[in-house]
Amino acid sequence: MGIIIAFISQKGGVGKSTLARACARELANNQISVKVADLDIQQGTCIEWGRTRLSNDIEPSVPVAFYKTVQAALADSGNYDSLVIDGPARVSAATLEIAKTANLVIQPSGASVDDLRPAVKEFHGLVNNHIPKSKMMFILNRIGTTAEEENARSYIQEAGYEVLEGCLFEKPAYRKAQNLGYSITETKYKALNEKADILIQNLINKIVTNG
Amino acid sequence: MADASKLKSLKKTLGDVPKLNEASNNTLSPEMAPSNSYNESYTRIDGRTMRRTNRTVRLATSVTPEFDRMLRKVAVEKNMLLAEVLEEALQFYCAKN
């Protein structure tokens, strides 16, 4: 079984697909065989993005596939060095299955209480199901200011969870890039790419540390 | 003069964090979200429903005028229904891929 990196959340629009795509893109760029498992068959965000990327001949290519169930995705994980799971905007028994198997479970969140409070509760739910906290990580997304980031970071840390160093600021350029099949590390702006790249690097470092 | 501006950010503006006993129990929910049972179970019965065999289903889509023209031309030439041309084309496509 390859490395499994899972992006989960009860809410939509928090950045699961954005981060899953960037993560997969960077792995592919390092010649690591990777597959994005899009489990949101109703939304299909990653699938659409993969199609756009393919039709625009963007390298490296990032394979994306639909899986109706977690079991089907996990069964396929052995065929790749890494499987990046883009979960649906819903937490269920399947999320627990993902968490049990994944090397890292990432929950992106915005900086508002509306985002943070339910997100913490979801991780609490996984802890109550004996998922080690070392596997769980928050990534802050759609951040407005550094003060907002610090505030959200301390909230999560107080709740007992790790927050990945760095964050994604709310930038239209990220959306624009993804609309064209690029990832957030491939925008037209070097500074934005570097920030996103640092975030993904920190994520990879965390996986390496976890072993 | 001392700069205490950073102390402001330490002030709790997001409220208390949820305790572990406030954990979500969403992991008890089934993987597939239950669908709307009202819509699923309700079928309005009329004359057509009684005669329906489900041998065929309706398919509506938008195509280019060129595609439409070509499809109808083939259908006329071969004396086939539009659906038959599409079925045959799809079978041919699947066999090739």
Asked whether residue B72 is assigned to any structural domain, the reply reads yes
The reply to whether B47 touches chain A by the CB within 8 Å rule is no
The reply to whether B53 touches chain A by the CB within 8 Å rule is no
- Whether the CB-CB separation of A159 and B23 falls below 8 Å is answered with no
Using only C-alpha atoms, chain A has a radius of gyration, in whole angstroms, of: 16
* Interchain contact, B30 vs A93, CB within 8 Å: yes
The reply to whether A118 touches chain B by the CB within 8 Å rule is yes
Lowest mean pLDDT among A185-189, B46-50, B70-74: B46-50
Nearest to A70 by CA among B25, B40, B27: B27
Asked whether residue B80 is assigned to any structural domain, the reply reads yes
pLDDT tens by residue, B38-64:
555 677 788 877 777 777 888 889 999
Asked whether residue B88 is assigned to any structural domain, the reply reads yes
Asked whether residue B50 is assigned to any structural domain, the reply reads no
pLDDT tens by residue, A134-174:
999 999 999 999 999 999 999 999 999 999 999 999 999 99
Q: What tokens were used for A115?
A: 């985002």
Asked whether residue B41 is assigned to any structural domain, the reply reads no
Kindly state the average pLDDT of the residues A53-77: 93
A94, A121, A128 ranked by CB distance to B31: nearest? A94
Does this complex have an ipTM over 0.85?
Answer: no
Please tell me the distance in Å from B4's CA to the nearest CA on chain A: 14
Asked whether residue B84 is assigned to any structural domain, the reply reads yes
The reply to whether B5 touches chain A by the CB within 8 Å rule is no
Q: Calculate the average pLDDT of chain B.
A: 83
The reply to whether B7 touches chain A by the CB within 8 Å rule is no
CA quadruple A78, A204, A101, A48: dihedral sign: negative
Cα B90 off chain centre by: 22
- Whether the CB-CB separation of A177 and A186 falls below 8 Å is answered with yes
CA distance A130 to B81: 60
Place of tokens 């893109």: A25
Asked whether residue B85 is assigned to any structural domain, the reply reads yes
CA distance A182 to A177: 5
Kindly state the average pLDDT of the residues A37-51: 92
Count other Cβ atoms within 10 Å, centred on residue A151.
19
Nearest to B26 by CA among A109, A87, A45, A103: A87
Number of domains chain B is built from: 1
Q: Calculate the average pLDDT of chain A.
A: 94
Count other Cβ atoms within 10 Å, centred on residue A79.
11
| Structural domain span for residue B73 | 61-97
Q: Which residues of B fall within a CB distance of 8 Å from A93? A: 27-31
Check residue A24 and report its DSSP letter: H
Kindly state the average pLDDT of the residues A10-35: 95
Nearest to A120 by CA among B4, B8, B43, B23: B23
Asked whether residue B48 is assigned to any structural domain, the reply reads no
Which residues of A, range 38-97, sit inside 8 Å of B by Cβ? 69-70, 90-96
